[in-house]
């Protein structure tokens, strides 16, 4: 719940500072949180759920950025990068490749995985450990490298 209050406080500060990009970005995040609460019929989401929503918002911007770069839309590229920087403030610190690699190796040893056939078991065990701290695609890639 602390993250939700932080978003509201930051929204008020952005409004006072007349920071349009920060205000619109936080408003979109809060709208996504509200929608999730309505969908699940809950009054207050846990911080971990809110982090997942924020992470999803970040991932959407990241995907959009690639498309804007392909299309050569410099105006949208700058706006999207600014939004991503704001969203990063609310995400937990992301794990480095080395940290993910260490977690993957430990998990492979725990499970006793030996080949690509065990990929699903390894991913299932790893994802709760790195939830919100690492991109699933990166984890998947590292697991593939370790199991080959």
The verdict on 80 and 101 lying in the same domain is no
Residues 85 and 115 in one domain: no
Give the whole-angstrom CA distance, residue 31 versus residue 38. 10
pLDDT 10s digits, 38-67: 998 888 888 888 888 898 899 899 999 999
pLDDT recorded at residue 1: 52
Give the global pTM.
Answer: 0.73
CB 131 within 8 Å of CB 148: no
List of the chain residues with pLDDT < 50:
none
- Report DSSP state, residue 118: G
Do 114 and 141 fall within a single domain? yes
User: Residue 5: what pLDDT?
Assistant: 92
Contact yes or no for 91/132 (Cβ under 8 A):
yes
CATH of the domain at 6: 1.10.1510.10
Last residue of a domain, one of 90, 108, 128: 90
The CATH number for 118's domain is 1.10.10.410
Closest CA to 6 of 34, 30, 37: 30
Number of structural domains the chain divides into: 2
Same domain, 69 and 100: no
The token duo for 122 is 């390894």
- pLDDT at position 116 is 84
State the Cα–Cα distance between residues 125 and 143, nearest whole angstrom.
11
Query: Does residue 28 sit in helix, strand or coil?
Result: helix
Boundaries of domain holding 136 = 95-145
CB 84 within 8 A of CB 123: no
């Amino acid at each position: 719940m602390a993250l939700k209050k932080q978003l509201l406080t930051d929204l008020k500060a952005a409004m006072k500072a007349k920071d349009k990009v920060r205000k619109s970005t936080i408003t979109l995040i809060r709208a996504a949180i509200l929608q999730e609460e309505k969908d699940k019929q809950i009054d207050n989401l846990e911080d971990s759920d809110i982090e997942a929503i924020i992470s999803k918002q970040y991932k959407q911007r990241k995907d959009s950025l690639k498309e804007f770069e392909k299309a050569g839309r410099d105006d949208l590229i700058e706006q999207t990068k600014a939004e991503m920087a704001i969203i990063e403030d609310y995400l937990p610190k992301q794990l480095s490749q080395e940290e993910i690699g260490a977690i993957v190796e430990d998990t492979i040893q725990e499970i006793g995985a030996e080949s690509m056939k065990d990929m699903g078991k390894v991913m299932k065990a790893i994802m709760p450990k790195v939830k919100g701290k690492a991109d699933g695609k990166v984890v998947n890639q590292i697991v593939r490298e370790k199991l080959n």
